[in-house]
């Protein structure tokens, strides 16, 4: 298992270049990029910026795992054709940014379910299904993988729904990001979710949250059982990446502290040994 850092906590504080530099300086060798202005604008090509970002990655020996679009900006499951078309176009543009930056995956959410009218979700799936197929095909053309993330507001919010969808649609090539805080927010036991998705898991997102809330707080500040999650990851022999995705007043310090706390709770990582304390063992 590799240890990664997500730039989500930096989006309103700094640009992607500065976030990459800070994350690299703290010893992380993998990063995931939140593609949203003002942090990083995915809507149009910017060759000069692409060059700057790739140089930072290469200079620090850092791998770019995936690009995310903000879930508040897109909805692949909208009943509106115009909204779905806009969302598909946004993802297609982000696929191009993935290719330019050398990212492994495009992170995709399952649109938005109708929380007040759950019977409408079957109809919303009729919007999501072809939109998702379009993105998978376009990503494959450009040599980019698609990785599907669980989200509390998503049409496929829980591990079982994601697994059934990917199985029924024949998406053996699509990996999964399993976000433990997103799972916790809907009352799903992350250990059970990981067990269901064990054969599809590419990235695990780690952050903490109080019970009954949806948050991405520093590790150890909430009610999520990271010792149990770490034991589950060891049991299923997870060899992907655990990405710390923390929103706080000091994301850099909380990323490093999160790595330390996970190590203290039994998590073991390969890769960088530059993190303070015994955060990683090679």
- Give the CB-side neighbour count of residue 132, counting CA atoms within 13 A: 26
Can you say whether residue 143 is alpha, beta or left, with left for phi > 0 and alpha for psi between -120 and 50 degrees? left
The pLDDT value recorded for residue 256 is 97
pLDDT tens for 266-279 read: 999 987 546 544 43
Domain 2-264 annotated CATH 3.20.20.150: yes
| Rounded-to-integer distance, Cα 156 and Cα 11, Å | 26
Concatenated DSSP letters of 53-76: HHHHHHHTT-EEEEEEE-TTT--T
What element of type H or E holds 167? helix 159-169
Give pLDDT tens digits for 243-258. Answer: 999 999 999 999 999 9
pLDDT in tens, 121-179: 999 999 999 999 999 999 999 999 999 999 999 999 999 999 999 999 999 999 999 99
Hey, which bits of 37-166 come out as E strands?
A: 63-69, 105-108, 145-149
pLDDT over 70 percentage in the chain: 96
Residue ranges of domains in the chain: 2-264
Count of all residues that appear for the chain in the document: 282
Dump pLDDT digits (tens) for 76-88. Answer: 999 999 999 999 9
Judge if pTM exceeds 0.75: yes
Per-residue pLDDT reduced to its tens digit, 18-41: 999 999 999 999 999 999 999 999
Q: Would you say 43 and 280 are in contact if contact means Cβ atoms under 8 Å apart?
A: no
């Amino acid at each position: 298992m590799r240890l990664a850092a997500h730039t989500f906590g930096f989006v309103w504080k700094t640009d992607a270049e500065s976030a990459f530099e800070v994350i690299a300086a703290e010893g992380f060798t993998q990063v995931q990029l939140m593609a949203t202005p003002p942090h990083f604008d995915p809507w149009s090509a910017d060759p000069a910026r692409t060059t700057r970002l790739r140089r930072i990655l290469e200079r620090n020996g850092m791998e770019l795992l995936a690009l995310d679009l903000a879930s508040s900006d897109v909805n692949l499951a909208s009943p509106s054709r115009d909204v779905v078309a806009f969302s598909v176009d946004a993802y297609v543009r982000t696929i191009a940014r993935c290719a330019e930056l050398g990212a492994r995956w495009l992170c995709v959410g399952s649109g938005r379910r109708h929380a007040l009218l759950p019977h409408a979700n079957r109809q919303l799936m009729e919007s999501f299904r072809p939109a998702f197929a379009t993105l998978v095909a376009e990503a494959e053309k450009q040599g980019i993988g698609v990785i599907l993330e669980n989200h509390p507001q998503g049409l496929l919010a829980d591990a079982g729904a994601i697994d059934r969808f990917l199985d029924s649609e024949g998406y053996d090539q699509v990996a999964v990001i399993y976000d433990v805080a997103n799972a916790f927010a809907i009352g799903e036991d992350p250990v059970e979710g990981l067990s269901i998705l064990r054969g599809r898991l590419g990235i695990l997102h780690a952050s903490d949250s109080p019970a009954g809330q949806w948050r991405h707080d520093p590790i150890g500040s909430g009610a999520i059982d990271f010792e149990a999650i770490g034991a589950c990851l060891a049991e299923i022999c997870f060899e992907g990446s655990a990405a710390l995705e923390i929103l706080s007043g000091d994301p850099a310090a909380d990323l490093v502290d999160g790595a330390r706390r996970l190590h203290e709770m039994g998590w073991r990582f390969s890769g960088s040994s530059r993190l303070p304390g015994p955060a990683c063992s090679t």
